[in-house]
Amino acid sequence: MFYHVKELQYHAKPEKPDPLYAKKLQEILGGQFGEISVALQYLFQGWSVRGDGKYKDLLMDTGAEELAHIEMLATMIARLLDGAPVGDLEKAAKDPIIGAILGGMNPQHAIVSGLGALPADSVGNRWTADYIIASGNLLADFRANLNAESQGRLQAVRLYEEATDSGVKDMLSWLIARDTMHQNQWVAAIYELESKENIVVPSTFPKELEKREVSYALFNLSRGNESATGRWANGQSIDGQGTFQYVEQPVPFAPEPKLTPAPPYIHNTLPSILKDGTNLMPPSKY
Amino acid sequence: MFYHVKELQYHAKPEKPDPLYAKKLQEILGGQFGEISVALQYLFQGWSVRGDGKYKDLLMDTGAEELAHIEMLATMIARLLDGAPVGDLEKAAKDPIIGAILGGMNPQHAIVSGLGALPADSVGNRWTADYIIASGNLLADFRANLNAESQGRLQAVRLYEEATDSGVKDMLSWLIARDTMHQNQWVAAIYELESKENIVVPSTFPKELEKREVSYALFNLSRGNESATGRWANGQSIDGQGTFQYVEQPVPFAPEPKLTPAPPYIHNTLPSILKDGTNLMPPSKY
Amino acid sequence: MFYHVKELQYHAKPEKPDPLYAKKLQEILGGQFGEISVALQYLFQGWSVRGDGKYKDLLMDTGAEELAHIEMLATMIARLLDGAPVGDLEKAAKDPIIGAILGGMNPQHAIVSGLGALPADSVGNRWTADYIIASGNLLADFRANLNAESQGRLQAVRLYEEATDSGVKDMLSWLIARDTMHQNQWVAAIYELESKENIVVPSTFPKELEKREVSYALFNLSRGNESATGRWANGQSIDGQGTFQYVEQPVPFAPEPKLTPAPPYIHNTLPSILKDGTNLMPPSKY
Amino acid sequence: MFYHVKELQYHAKPEKPDPLYAKKLQEILGGQFGEISVALQYLFQGWSVRGDGKYKDLLMDTGAEELAHIEMLATMIARLLDGAPVGDLEKAAKDPIIGAILGGMNPQHAIVSGLGALPADSVGNRWTADYIIASGNLLADFRANLNAESQGRLQAVRLYEEATDSGVKDMLSWLIARDTMHQNQWVAAIYELESKENIVVPSTFPKELEKREVSYALFNLSRGNESATGRWANGQSIDGQGTFQYVEQPVPFAPEPKLTPAPPYIHNTLPSILKDGTNLMPPSKY
Amino acid sequence: MFYHVKELQYHAKPEKPDPLYAKKLQEILGGQFGEISVALQYLFQGWSVRGDGKYKDLLMDTGAEELAHIEMLATMIARLLDGAPVGDLEKAAKDPIIGAILGGMNPQHAIVSGLGALPADSVGNRWTADYIIASGNLLADFRANLNAESQGRLQAVRLYEEATDSGVKDMLSWLIARDTMHQNQWVAAIYELESKENIVVPSTFPKELEKREVSYALFNLSRGNESATGRWANGQSIDGQGTFQYVEQPVPFAPEPKLTPAPPYIHNTLPSILKDGTNLMPPSKY
Amino acid sequence: MFYHVKELQYHAKPEKPDPLYAKKLQEILGGQFGEISVALQYLFQGWSVRGDGKYKDLLMDTGAEELAHIEMLATMIARLLDGAPVGDLEKAAKDPIIGAILGGMNPQHAIVSGLGALPADSVGNRWTADYIIASGNLLADFRANLNAESQGRLQAVRLYEEATDSGVKDMLSWLIARDTMHQNQWVAAIYELESKENIVVPSTFPKELEKREVSYALFNLSRGNESATGRWANGQSIDGQGTFQYVEQPVPFAPEPKLTPAPPYIHNTLPSILKDGTNLMPPSKY
């Protein structure tokens, strides 16, 4: 159950409006690695933990925080949109800044959301739950989380570089710091689980059931041997269970497949036509 | 540039058809962590590497292999669909197996693809590039890859548990082994980059520009202190740049936001109405 | 900013597992009118209110509650999935119940989420922000909310009818009651705004700028005059600004449009070919 | 069955081309509340009405009209795109208007549709049937319709404000007037159904099966009591069946849920690891 | 502008309900090649024709007919859903037919649409305008139309094979016949345009601007020479402008690309790290 | 199985960067008819061919080539993005070119992909497998392929017209030439199959099972007789099996449908309410 207070976790106030930047900032609100993604990803993972304790609590702590970040970004974007220009391109075009804004702002910020934030990314794609991950295996999921915080901090940093407004930068410096913590925390949790299990997810699948002969082989399928010099091609495997090998000329292990013809009620191309292949085409009419 | 040979990387032949299992197996062909996802993810990352050498080669090696895995799965699914029943439910229902198949198979396997594999997951959602990640920052992206291989191997293992066909199990044991390698290789690459940079992505953003006071703080936003006992709440941070702290009673750092009214041409609810709020509602008509 | 407590707003415990029902119940978690939709819809509306006071508070109150409902449903679904069968269809088919389950459950509940709830609807479509609405005009948005609660309660009631488990019914009877409140509250808010503005959204657009001659006309475009007997075709208009009229034989007000040919650099079909239209087709080759 | 005449329901001719405005105007053709949405929404509702008479006829009348509005908008957009510039940015940039157009127009209007309208919104998202609603319960659906006409008219009005072309304004003033009618007609139909049933959808669910104790309670889940002063928190409920109450300090009604561990064949994190949680992490390697 | 009559173009009445078949039949209503797709495809093409005459009229004739087919299918599906079972799996499972239905019917047909048709395909994916095509070049678009009618008729035929109900078969035999006509008509229109232009779309691009040396070459990129025996590898090209050639051992025409490092403000992996690639990884902790 | 070489099939090097053009060029990489679409379409068709020989080989040859085209476009786009400007709008706006770029470039090219290509189209929609087609019926699918190459070449030509960079034009002239070949080859394959089967897909459905009386009729459903003058309305049908006829005044063949009321557990609008329709609405409160 959730309680809301109307104060913000941190300031979200720009010096002045900037509709073009509002459009860009949508990326870390409603994009693939925006705050909606991490909030719902952590909450869904937490709700699915089949057991109690610190991992579940950590997920719920962080999920609740990300809701606050959605709120900060929604507030910032609404303020960046204050007084967004609409209207007469000819007049506006005399002022190149307004021209760029009219050409570049997200038109839905005026037409659809009435100067509010959208649950969408910087090009206007609506957020989708295709972005989120919750498998019930915490080592797998914490890796998803580490990736999300890595991509998210990278995007926030790039937006910082694109910003000139001190209020925007101030807020981003908060979000970037929180992403530093979140990367640290998921790495800590990952190390702990890896030390109890193994680095390979899931650790509970019996080794003898996999084809061990290719569990540590790098197949050189892109011509050139640069990858042969990497750690992944030499020495003990990272999981300590095998030895990396480099297969310079990988070959197929199975013959060309031949598929059985479909039954007549499927109405695929008839086997007789496929087999025969005689060219009955009449002379070109051109 | 790519060359194709018609032989398969590994066998993809079931003992006998099973349309219901074909539907499930679609998950690791066209689902969020299916082979289409990893193939295109690695290739797009490889094409975007702005520099040469072993990382790019590793990406292209692995991307090319994943194309072969799409091919194996497409072949296996086509064979699992051989002779899939269609038609008369009443007759079929006398045989409970056929009844379950008629109720459970993906109808598009007959109607749309003519007993071929679909570029879709196990519930029939078509594959979307929303699943893939390529940021240009290799540490971030290798984490995405490690996650993809972790989720993917987990799904393959679950499908192995659901399988009874020895041919299907044989193929899955190959794919599971390859995922073992791929997890190992991305971990190796991650360790290497982390040791050169730092665990926090991107490592190139100046520390002093983030709010360092919250870079290592865990906010207890879900009541209960279980998460206080984790490594993430105690001791030196994993990046070696700070000390974890646990904030038991986190508070807002900023006041409740007040947004400026929208200009009249936006036609939002008028400020006078919002401010006033007088209840003028006539007596209920009920 | 949000605080979470781990207790549930209300009980979410089935008597016994039922994977098939778990699949259906996903509709009101992650479907078009599921709890994710209303939670994010109310929160986004609240964050965008450009003014303070009771409407914003009401939105935030209700949005926070809907988060608790997502949590209840995620918990219920996880429990309905306890011990979901996977595996051998032949054995299972001897038990028609298991056969139906194997044929009918959402395969991603086992393969993808590991017996956890999915952010998806009852057929497996992932949730999308295309479902939500926040325009900045509260009368418009409260109508969206009333619709969402009407559709949502209707779906919950239908699921109640499909349920046999007393635990499931108990939880649904809570959600249905809350939807009763939420329909009541949005109607109350709508009446209040309608009495201050007018029923037509937006009320701030000058009447004289619309084509008043067709503002109250019902065009009979589907043959048959049944609709002529409705209130909407007779008497004063509901907004009190005009008189309904029924146009029995509606005609076009504008001529057939003629579009200018595209410039050559667009490479559309040439005007000469369109205009001429001479049939130069050679005799059929069949 | 449908018959088409080539004349337009109303004029759709701009004074002059404006590719940037064409992009914006797409919103009410192919956006969430565009004409495709209302046309297909009304038609699907009509086709599903299980009974005859005036409601079905009204739906078909209006659905047929919305098809004519798609046609008008498609025509207007094609004309706004006449002679859209492509090509040399350097030359174009000397003319700031052309620069803004080149930066801002939808590139698919040239590349994909060849200066025709797209079935897409103002940012280029293709139309999706996720937007439409047809439940078989007419009171629920008429509320969906009233919302659609409210959002749609709001967007048309905002586009009117952004327009400078007299031909565009003329067409919009037609569409705005029609939305006035359509809001009036759905309100009339809603009042009629509400007076026969009740305001709560569905009216056919027995009251005693819902948790009546929370059917009229407003839970104060966002700190601050502004919402306590609303009609929704005081007096008889709008449905006349209860009394609104304001719950200032809402508490959970159910304990923290404990989920059963997943069976081994799911390969989630093991209960032993979740329960134990011992920190076995080796000393940081940094 | 459109006029509707309530009579159906053809009968749409099954002998008896069949919810499982209703789910399948959705494919040709709301799938990729369903009636919504062809209706909107032809109408959008027609509205975009920049010229008048027979092609535009043909498109509008056929588009209007496809609207009638949506209507027939929506009616048929509603009737197939009459009295669809919901409820108690245990009881139902005693009747294997009902068990299969409960396991296999689209749950949204009961929960969401109230026994009405959905704008979705046979697995429940909502219709999307991603399916439709209108380019402004009629030869290209008529090929899209011929494909749509070919795929659509194939699907209708497969559904005919899966049907046992004489009413369903009767309706499908109508739709299949109409698809026969529509394939014939688009072929006729294609031949006419090909004879005026050429088979290569667009015919208006100057030959000398393309790399003519590869305009008729088949590159053998999949090992094995079976494709060398086809008409496409021998003799005059079909467009009459060149000679087909078979390139047995195709080679790259350009060197390996080297991309410039990204500027620092993008925070990609640093060139020094990419170039160096030294393995600094500490000894494995396992 | 696939092998990759790092050399490109053809040059992909612009004279100089152009982020705005990079955005547009995405259309033929990740749009509906971009290279991802044709690559995966041909490969999926090839993998599903249930028989061997030249058609399968042709599909695999061409699919493998299209992978090389994705690679070329990804490389070209990365180079067009070199040094893409971010940042200060006010400064930038002094240079109208930079202003147009800032307003018009795809913001994800900087924020998300770090100056790499995206698997998306020119407006930023991510690629989806909804675009691709593989039915198992080769004549149907080759028509899909011919359409894809027609639309794709048309788009490439339009992009050529929009280009000023000689490197971009050079690459496009390669791709356009390859599309010339691919249109030729699919036409050749289509003619061959048509001459063995018939033009109507599928050719295996018994004629007597379709309603032959409407297999060659053109219904004039859009007022105006222009379409009566086409080949499709006169003479022998193209398939040689009938005679085209023009139905000037098409009428319905079936009565208005009456649907049975839904059972009570569906909670649709009650039949009594639908039937009665009495207007009980109280006097308007306005």
Q: Write down the domain spans for chain F.
A: 19-196, 207-247
Query: Closest by alpha carbon to E33, among E128, E142, E103?
Result: E128
CA distance D84 to D111: 11
More confident of the two residues E81 and B274: E81
* Inter-residue contact E115 to F268 (CB < 8 Å): yes
With a cut of 90, say whether residue D276 has pLDDT above it.
no
Show the beta-strand stretches assigned E in chain C: 2-4, 217-219, 245-247
Q: What is the pLDDT of residue B274?
A: 85
The answer to whether B117 contacts F40, with C-beta atoms less than 8 Å apart, is: no
Task: Collect all residues of chain E within an 8 Å Cβ-Cβ radius of residue F254.
Answer: 7-12
pLDDT per residue as tens digits for the range E231-253:
999 999 999 999 999 999 999 99
Single-letter code of the amino acid located at B55: Y
* Inter-residue contact A30 to A181 (CB < 8 Å): no
CA distance D236 to A245: 77
E207-276 topology per CATH: manganese catalase, domain 2, chain A (3.30.1530)
Contacts of E129 (CB under 8 A, 6+ apart): D30, D36, D119, D120, D126, D127, D128, E40
Phi, psi of F161 (to 5 degrees): -65, -30
CA distance E105 to C224: 35
Q: What is the pLDDT of residue C282?
A: 44
Helix B138-162, helix A138-162: angle, nearest 10: 150
DSSP character at residue A117: -
CB contacts < 8 A (A, D): 152
Distances (CA, A) of D19 to A103, D78, D86, D103, E47: 11, 9, 11, 11, 17
With a cut of 70, say whether residue D118 has pLDDT above it.
yes
The answer to whether A265 contacts E158, with C-beta atoms less than 8 Å apart, is: yes
pLDDT per residue as tens digits for the range F166-190:
999 999 999 999 999 999 999 999 9
The answer to whether B151 contacts A160, with C-beta atoms less than 8 Å apart, is: no
Looking only at the bridges linking them, the beta strands covering F245-247 and F217-219 are parallel
Q: Which residue of E has its CA nearest to F264?
A: E83
DSSP H or E run through C19: helix C19-25
pLDDT per residue as tens digits for the range E163-205:
999 999 999 999 999 999 999 999 999 999 999 999 999 999 9
The gap between the terminal CA atoms of chain D, to the nearest Å, is 73
Q: Any idea of the CA torsion for C52, C58, C64, C66, to the nearest 10 degrees?
A: -140
CB contacts < 8 A (E, F): 334
pLDDT per residue as tens digits for the range A226-254:
999 999 999 999 999 999 999 999 999 99
Q: Which two tokens stand for residue C253?
A: 């007000």
DSSP character at residue C255: P
Q: Which two tokens stand for residue D35?
A: 């004409």
CA distance F35 to F76: 13
Distances (CA, A) of A21 to A15, A160, E21, F20: 13, 11, 51, 17
More confident of the two residues E281 and C259: C259
DSSP character at residue D250: -
Q: How far is B163 from chain C (nearest CA, A)?
A: 6
Whether residue E61 is annotated as binding a ligand: the answer is: yes
Q: How many Cβ atoms are within 10 Å of C31's Cβ, its own excluded?
A: 26
Residues in chain D, total: 286
pLDDT per residue as tens digits for the range B32-69:
999 999 999 999 999 999 987 899 999 999 999 999 99
The answer to whether F240 contacts C286, with C-beta atoms less than 8 Å apart, is: yes
- In chain D, pLDDT over 70 holds for what percent of residues? 93
* Inter-residue contact D73 to D35 (CB < 8 Å): yes
Phi, psi of F247 (to 5 degrees): -100, 105
Q: How far is CA A195 from the centre of its chain?
A: 27
Q: Any idea of the CA torsion for C160, C163, C168, C173, to the nearest 10 degrees?
A: 20
* Inter-residue contact A10 to A166 (CB < 8 Å): no
- In chain E, pLDDT over 70 holds for what percent of residues? 93
ipTM: 0.94
Whether residue F35 is annotated as binding a ligand: the answer is: yes
Per-residue buried b or exposed e for E78-106, using 16+ beta carbons within 10 Å of the residue's own CB: bbbbbebbbeebeebbeebbbbbbbbbbb
The answer to whether E75 contacts D135, with C-beta atoms less than 8 Å apart, is: no
Other chains touching D, judged by 3 or more CB pairs under 8 Å: A, B, C, E, F
Q: What is the pLDDT of residue D280?
A: 42
Q: What is the pLDDT of residue B276?
A: 59
pLDDT per residue as tens digits for the range E128-153:
999 999 999 999 999 999 999 999 99
CA distance E230 to E41: 33
Contacts of B14 (CB under 8 A, 6+ apart): B76, B79, B80, B165, B167, B168
pLDDT per residue as tens digits for the range D63-77:
999 999 999 999 999
Q: What is the pLDDT of residue B212?
A: 97
D19-196 topology per CATH: Ferritin (1.20.1260)
Q: How far is F158 from chain A (nearest CA, A)?
A: 22
The answer to whether E65 contacts F221, with C-beta atoms less than 8 Å apart, is: yes
Contacts of D91 (CB under 8 A, 6+ apart): none
DSSP character at residue B231: G
| Residues of chain A falling short of pLDDT 50 | 279-286
Tokens 């800044």 locate to: A97
Looking only at the bridges linking them, the beta strands covering D217-219 and D245-247 are parallel
| Residues of chain B falling short of pLDDT 50 | 279-286
DSSP H or E run through E36: helix E35-48
Burial class (CB in 10 A: 0-12, 13-18, 19+), B184: buried
The answer to whether B273 contacts C197, with C-beta atoms less than 8 Å apart, is: yes
Tokens 């009559």 locate to: E5
* Inter-residue contact F198 to F242 (CB < 8 Å): no
CA distance E281 to B191: 6
* Inter-residue contact A97 to F89 (CB < 8 Å): yes
Q: Which residue of D has its CA nearest to F159?
A: D111
Whether residue C210 is annotated as binding a ligand: the answer is: no
Q: Which two tokens stand for residue B58?
A: 């590793």
Mean pLDDT for the stretch of residues E250-267: 95
Longest Cα–Cα distance in chain D:
79
Single-letter code of the amino acid located at D73: L
Mean pLDDT for the stretch of residues C17-26: 95
Contacts of A273 (CB under 8 A, 6+ apart): F193, F196, F197
Q: What DSSP string runs through E219-248?
A: E--BSSSGGGGSGGGSSB-TTSSSB-EEES
Q: Which two tokens stand for residue E249?
A: 């051992």
Reported as a pLDDT band with limits 50, 70 and 90, residue D241 is very high
Q: How far is E32 from chain B (nearest CA, A)?
A: 9
Mean pLDDT for the stretch of residues D40-55: 93
Per-residue buried b or exposed e for C32-63, using 16+ beta carbons within 10 Å of the residue's own CB: bbbbbbbbbbbbbbbbbbbbbbbbbbbbbbbb
CA distance B256 to B96: 62
Q: How many Cβ atoms are within 10 Å of D274's Cβ, its own excluded?
A: 19
Q: How many Cβ atoms are within 10 Å of E157's Cβ, its own excluded?
A: 26
Q: If interface means Cβ-Cβ distance under 8 Å, which residues of chain E face chain A?
A: 154, 157-158, 161-162, 198-199, 229-231, 236, 238-240, 265-267, 277, 279, 281, 284-286
Looking only at the bridges linking them, the beta strands covering D245-247 and E2-4 are unpaired
With a cut of 60, say whether residue E104 has pLDDT above it.
yes
With a cut of 60, say whether residue D173 has pLDDT above it.
yes
Distances (CA, A) of D201 to C146, C184, C201, D140, D142: 10, 10, 23, 6, 11
The answer to whether D24 contacts A193, with C-beta atoms less than 8 Å apart, is: no
CA distance D175 to D186: 16
The average confidence (pLDDT) of chain B is 93
Q: What is the pLDDT of residue C87?
A: 64
Reported as a pLDDT band with limits 50, 70 and 90, residue D279 is very low
- Identify the CATH number of the domain defined by range B206-275: 3.30.1530.10
With a cut of 60, say whether residue F233 has pLDDT above it.
yes
Q: Enumerate the β-bridge partners of residue E243.
A: E236
Task: Collect all residues of chain A within an 8 Å Cβ-Cβ radius of residue F22.
Answer: none
